[in-house]
Structure 1
Amino acid sequence: MKQFIDFIPLLLFFIVYKLDPRVIDVAGHDVTLGGIFSATGVLIASSVVVYGILFITQRKLEKSQWLTLVACLVFGSLTLAFHSETFLKWKAPVVNWLFALAFIGSHFIGDRVLIKRIMGHALQLPDAVWTRLNVAWICFFIFCGAANLFVAFTFQSFWVDFKVFGSLGMTVLFLVGQGIYLSRHLHDSDTSTPKTED
């Protein structure tokens, strides 16, 4: 569920981006709505609201959510300050690759790989399976970052469409694949647990 909460600001960004530019009155000020720069403003504002609500209700944000929020504020602000969408195009690749680095680092720092730290409270799996799952997440984040970067600078006419729906589609497909992989190993784990404890 939390993966899809992260897409709320992105969906709002997409909707505003697709609007034909128009000037609306907001508290006595003329504001242009539609296009990349107003959409970036909406992305920043909605990210602050969504993660603010999560922080208030949960009393905390996960590290991944902090990273996403900070990246949105930094790259979004640079996009608006320099009036250049290039900064925003780098947001998804950088965030994905930072996630990949975190998963890579967990192989060398601490006693558990990152995916086991995240999901270990809910699942009992052999360490070898956790390691393979962690490597899969590393590959996923590296691929997503590269795909976003390639599309953003090669197919500029629909990079926003890919940023929203391509990223969402890749995430859904990966989670489905992870679920299939885990269901097989959970079944094996259930039948073999008594033997491994002897």
Structure 2
Amino acid sequence: MKLLLDFFPIILFFIAFKFAGIYVATAVAIVATIAQIAWLRYSRGKVEPMQWISLGIIVLFGGATIISQNETFIKWKPTVLYWLMAATLASGQLFFRKNLLKSLMGAQLELPDNAWRVMNWSWIGFFTLMGIINLWVAYNFDTDTWVNFKLFGGLGLMAVFVVGQALYLGRYMKSDESPKQP
């Protein structure tokens, strides 16, 4: 259910684009993101800071797209979000000497500091690369291709990256099974 809620605005954006075009899809994404945040606030009483930032970015870039009737703004939105996440993780590591991934996930994963550092830098690299790829697709292909990439390509690359992370982290996972004694 949480996964569906997380992708709710993207899925509605995709469907609206296929039936009504980029400007209607952009308006739908704005409304869906506002509804998503409202639901999270109502059901959990709390909204994560990154979700508030994402809302601000979709309202800003989506609003600019609708007002100017220029789809370039909405095409920049994923890149800005990816680069903001990369910059946040990098700033935490470089300026504050704090691994923000470890702060967020340390209760769920027990890893050596080196593994946390590798994971943090790999996410920084991934988000940076995703921002570049988004712009490359946005400026080298038509809007329909960009929308398809945004949903299927972006999610596919994320899935491949997460599987790669899981394989890397697997070497640090402790087995719950104790060796059997003869």
TM > 0.5 between the two?
yes
Counterparts of 1:56-95 in structure 2, within 5 Å, are 56-95=42-81
Letter in 1 for 2:170: S
Question: Residues 2, 176 of structure 1: CA spacing in aligned structure 2 closer, same or farther, 3 A cutoff?
Answer: farther
Q: Residue 100 of structure 1: SS of its match in structure 2?
A: helix
Counterpart pick for 1:148 among 116, 134, 141: 134
Is 1:10 the counterpart of 2:7? The answer is no
Counterparts of 1:33-52 in structure 2, within 5 Å, are 34-52=20-38
2:158 is aligned to: 171
Q: Percent identity at matched positions?
A: 40
d(CA) in 1 for partners of 2:2, 2:150: 18
Q: Residue 185 of structure 1: SS of its match in structure 2?
A: coil
**Offset, 1:2:** 5.4
d(CA) in 2 for partners of 1:2, 1:139: 26
Letter in 2 for 1:53: W
Is 1:185 the counterpart of 2:145? The answer is no
**Offset, 1:139:** 0.6
**Offset, 1:77:** 0.5
**Offset, 1:66:** 1.3
d(CA) in 1 for partners of 2:112, 2:85: 23
107-116 vs 165-174, which moves further: 107-116
2:123 is aligned to: 137
d(CA) in 2 for partners of 1:175, 1:58: 26
Q: Residue 109 of structure 2: SS of its match in structure 1?
A: coil
Is 1:161 the counterpart of 2:153? The answer is no
- What runs of 5+ residues in structure 1 fail to find an aligned partner? 20-33, 192-198
1:123 is aligned to: 109
d(CA) in 2 for partners of 1:6, 1:74: 20
**Offset, 1:111:** 4.8
Question: Residues 46, 156 of structure 1: CA spacing in aligned structure 2 closer, same or farther, 3 A cutoff?
Answer: same
* TM-score, structure 1 as length reference: 0.83
**Offset, 1:170:** 1.3
d(CA) in 1 for partners of 2:169, 2:122: 12
d(CA) in 1 for partners of 2:136, 2:27: 24
Which structure has the highest strand share of the two?
A: 1
Letter in 1 for 2:9: P
Aligned residues: 176
Question: Residues 143, 171 of structure 1: CA spacing in aligned structure 2 closer, same or farther, 3 A cutoff?
Answer: same
Letter in 1 for 2:162: L
**Offset, 1:116:** 0.3
**Offset, 1:56:** 1.5
**Offset, 1:121:** 1.1
Letter in 1 for 2:160: L
d(CA) in 2 for partners of 1:108, 1:12: 37
